[in-house]
Structure 1
Amino acid sequence: MKEVVDRWSSRRAFILAVTGAAVGLGNIWRFPYVAGENGGALFFLLYVFFVLAMGLPVMIAEIMIGRAGRRPPIQALAALAQERGRSAKWSWVAGFGLLTVFLVLSFYSVVSGWSIEYLSSTVQGKFAGASAENISHALDVFLANPWLVVLNHSLFMLLTMAVVAKGVSSGLERLNNWLMPLLYLLLVVLVIYAATTPGFGEALKWLFSPKFEELTPLVVVNALGHAFFTLAIGACALMAYGAYMPEDQSLVKAVVIVAVLDVLVAVLSGVAIFSVVFSHHLDPTSGPGLMFVALPIAFSAMPFGIPLLGAFFLLLLFATWTSSINLAEPMVASISTGRLSRPVAALIVGLCVWAAGLLPALSFSTLANVRPIAGMTFFDLVTSVPPDIFLPLGGLMIAWFAANVLDPEKAAGALGVGTSGFWLWLHITRYVAIPLVVLVLLSALVPKLI
């Protein structure tokens, strides 16, 4: 397999692309409600610490492998392992990663379709003047309609694969170049508005004044898990991006910038959302319904609330769109060959993911009573097992490969920070990041086995 010839056109393009992969449901939908369920500021402080201690070293490892191999993930791992006299079966790590992104994208598309529906409903004025009771029931009514859920799932997959089919420079790079700055602009506008609400001060206190007496093992474990999930590591998607990385770009600097931008989205989203929540005396621990139930109730009662609610769902759509195209990329890159063009590969991947997504999409209606394992629906399974178990397991294998299998000289060259910088990364990865990833994996695996 020849090395990839496509490259990001600039350092900025690479950073925006990796940021687009990292920023998504984890930052805008999941972070606010998980932070709410785990005490706010203390969770946020631990989350940032684990991003630095665990997330950055593993992210560096994944991109490093792609940069050193300059091939799609499966071929890169096989070639790099054989160079060191190791088994080409290390390629199965990438195969496992592709399975993981396949499953994650199948539910990602479904949940992202909800943002399309809610954006459409907001634009149509369905939430204007609606009672809290009607808004609370709106999500249940929508999910119980299989045709509507599948329609929005289909629209989102079409949006995703249309971009991926165009390739790196014409598709992914062009979308990231205008969509990511627009996403941050929307966030800033929402935070400026949040600063005018009576709940702004309480939101800042909730997010930035930790109460250390509330520290529990569960809060630590949840912060660990979220730090891992939010950076899009463990599924070889970033490995594919590393193969396209410009030769003269600093890997470490790029990863640090991406981590800062990723955490920034979570912070800005938290400030904007909790300001509205506290302004209307809503429960910050209301769980996943915070975005789709609590916010529509709050915004419907606020001046200019409906346009701002539309901005929230547009923001969510943008974030999930950039993430989904970056999840799809390694799958398309892996099967796109001289005989199979990228558009055809994108069509095949898109159709397969769409078909798999029908199971979680119909879990609230037609398949609501189908519970194949441990009383869980297909939606419960696909939203818990791949992100909670498969991603950490993939991240563990990727970090182990980079730290113990990859040729140290080749790894140091791909890292590009000199001998001392490489050994610093190596020791942090071996003795800090890998044990923390094991803890993430065990914390998710043990409760499911009991």
Structure 2
Amino acid sequence: MTTTAPIAHGHWSSRLTFLLATIGLSVGLGNVWRFPWLAGENGGGAFVLIYLGCVAFVALPIIMAELVIGRRGGMTPAASFLKLARAEGASPAWRWGGIVAIAAAFLISSFYGVIGGWTLAYSWFAASGQMDGLTTTSAGALFDGLLASPAKLSFWMALFLLANILVVVRGVESGVEKATSVLMPILFALLAFLCVYALVVGDAQRGMAFLFQPDWSKVSAQTFVRALGQAFFSVSVGMAAMILYGAYLPKTVQIAPTAALVAGADTLVAILAGIAIFPFVFAQGLAPASGPGLVFIILPVALQGLAAPSLIAFVFFILLAIAALTSMVALFELMAALGEEQGWPRGRTVWLTGGAMAGLGLLTVFSFNSLSDVHPLGFVPAFAKATFFDLIDWFTSNLGLTIGALTSALFAGWVMKPASTASELGVPEQHPGYRLWAVLIRWPVPITIIILIAAALLGLGETVG
């Protein structure tokens, strides 16, 4: 049973450290790996514009709602929902929204750890010269060789999880805060360097035209669904970690401008990632619409023939590894806080969490090799070819995150009294900004999320796997 007893957690030492940690939570593989290839497959600039709208009018209000719930509750997500529901005279069943979000976060962490391992593996490939002289064929073979080996995938996953454990086991101030305070500036510096390098030596004109010139002929209903789903995945709403980070937030920090900075920085990184990638791709005459393989297959080939391709590849994949680490740390911290809530020592919780993530992560590892022909829901036409990884990815991204976000929106908009949310946001109820947020979080945001869930369930003609 979820307890309502206060948990002994730390707090961010300053607004800056909170910003760096929360931006680190939001900025991850969704920005540097997922955003570029989604833009590549959905018409470039048109997708970017739709994505920006989704972030501004859907994701940002939810970030604010989750921070409000987290800081006012002061506990882990499910416990905060329960505490606030009782305070507002609402049903305790609202805590299930937090439970679903926590479950989604844990499931995401299981495959996120595997993909995080890919970034470390590719950093090693670049450093050891294995990416010199790659062609599309040999780059594909390198990636396929990694995926075909359960031992290699498991090793790199374990190394990535160990890095997270060593950070989170030290606590909020000494671990998470210090790590993100160092890693986030490094990430931005590396990304800025790659953007400048790409614009100088790559095909900047075609790359920028592709990224920023809208091609509305390629826009379909699926484009809007993908843009909204990417906004959710990218800014990390609906997976409970934002609520937890809000619980660590001092009352002196204003939520609205802070949330806007987080959403803005997250969006900036996604766009900069596109600037850092597409000029290289076009310079070598390669296809920007290359799906998930854009970063791991097409980009290494695009760097060939340029000055110091292995060094640039190493910088890029270290950047990707840092982005993955700062996001994964938040998921570990969520589990650590849950353990503390139950009176468990942080060290024990963190190590057990790592072991559980590794165990569940093996389903993703084997989905690329030994179990690639196993389709658990093969009797369902839409999932006929879906592996364990495909199913975990689909259910968490399309249902887990969206249900978690929908719960936060409905709870903040309809369950919490305006006096409560306005007080937490630090403005009067009559403030124009508050009134706009209240309208968005009550009507357009929930309706949009419901449409997203319906679109995922209906499939819009797509199959999974």
The match for 1:434 is 446
Unaligned runs of 5+ in 1: none
Deviations 1:267-286 (A, max 9, x none): 11101100000000100001
Q: Give matches, 1:364-443, under 5 Å.
A: 364-373=368-377, 374-375=383-384, 376-419=386-429, 420=431, 421-443=433-455
Deviations 1:23-76 (A, max 9, x none): 011100000000000000000001001100100011111111001111111211
Deviations 1:93-133 (A, max 9, x none): 11111110010000000011111111111100011124432
SS in 2 for 1:39: coil
The Cα shift of 1:215 comes to 3.0
The Cα shift of 1:4 comes to 4.6
The Cα shift of 1:227 comes to 1.3
Normalised TM-score (structure 1): 0.97
SS in 2 for 1:195: helix
The Cα shift of 1:337 comes to 4.0
Deviations 1:346-378 (A, max 9, x none): 112111111100101111122222211133111
Structure 1 CA distance, aligned partners of 2:75 and 2:343? Answer: 17
* 1:93–1:121 distance in 2 versus 1, CA, 3 Å: same
The Cα shift of 1:383 comes to 1.7
* 1:198–1:333 distance in 2 versus 1, CA, 3 Å: closer
Structure 2 CA distance, aligned partners of 1:211 and 1:379? Answer: 32
Structure 2 CA distance, aligned partners of 1:13 and 1:334? Answer: 22
Is the Cα–Cα contact under 8 Å of residues 412 and 441 in structure 2 kept in the other structure?
A: no
The match for 2:145 is 141
Q: Does 1:297 align with 2:301?
A: yes
Q: Does 1:447 align with 2:451?
A: no
Is the Cα–Cα contact under 8 Å of residues 148 and 369 in structure 2 kept in the other structure?
A: yes
Q: Does 1:41 align with 2:45?
A: yes
The amino acid that maps onto 1:303 is: A
Is the Cα–Cα contact under 8 Å of residues 207 and 270 in structure 1 kept in the other structure?
A: yes
Is the Cα–Cα contact under 8 Å of residues 201 and 306 in structure 2 kept in the other structure?
A: no
Deviations 1:240-278 (A, max 9, x none): 000000211110010111111101111111011000000
Structure 2 CA distance, aligned partners of 1:219 and 1:79? Answer: 39
The match for 2:103 is 99
The Cα shift of 1:3 comes to 5.3
The Cα shift of 1:418 comes to 2.4
SS in 1 for 2:344: coil
Is the Cα–Cα contact under 8 Å of residues 300 and 313 in structure 2 kept in the other structure?
A: yes
From 90, 98, 102, give the equivalent of 1:86: 90
The number of residues matched between the two structures is 450
Normalised TM-score (structure 2): 0.94
Is the Cα–Cα contact under 8 Å of residues 104 and 383 in structure 1 kept in the other structure?
A: yes
Is the Cα–Cα contact under 8 Å of residues 168 and 350 in structure 2 kept in the other structure?
A: yes
Structure 2 CA distance, aligned partners of 1:63 and 1:248? Answer: 13
The Cα shift of 1:5 comes to 4.8
Structure 2 CA distance, aligned partners of 1:243 and 1:37? Answer: 38
The Cα shift of 1:334 comes to 1.2
Q: Which moved more, 1:370-379 or 1:138-147?
A: 370-379
The match for 2:253 is 249
SS in 1 for 2:303: helix
The match for 1:165 is 169
Structure 2 CA distance, aligned partners of 1:357 and 1:366? Answer: 14
Structure 2 CA distance, aligned partners of 1:215 and 1:447? Answer: 17
From 219, 224, 239, give the equivalent of 1:220: 224
SS in 2 for 1:65: helix
Structure 2 CA distance, aligned partners of 1:98 and 1:217? Answer: 30
Structure 1 CA distance, aligned partners of 2:160 and 2:120? Answer: 8
Structure 2 CA distance, aligned partners of 1:144 and 1:134? Answer: 15
Is the Cα–Cα contact under 8 Å of residues 4 and 72 in structure 1 kept in the other structure?
A: no
Is the Cα–Cα contact under 8 Å of residues 4 and 71 in structure 1 kept in the other structure?
A: no
> What root-mean-square deviation, in Å, do the aligned CA atoms of Structure 1 and Structure 2 show?
1.5
Is the Cα–Cα contact under 8 Å of residues 9 and 337 in structure 2 kept in the other structure?
A: no
Unaligned runs of 5+ in 2: 378-382
Q: Give matches, 1:286-365, under 5 Å.
A: 286-337=290-341, 339-365=343-369
Structure 1 CA distance, aligned partners of 2:90 and 2:133? Answer: 65
SS in 2 for 1:282: coil
Structure 2 CA distance, aligned partners of 1:250 and 1:339? Answer: 31
SS in 2 for 1:429: helix
Deviations 1:315-346 (A, max 9, x none): 00000000001122222201224741111111
From 192, 217, 226, give the equivalent of 2:196: 192
Structure 2 CA distance, aligned partners of 1:415 and 1:365? Answer: 49
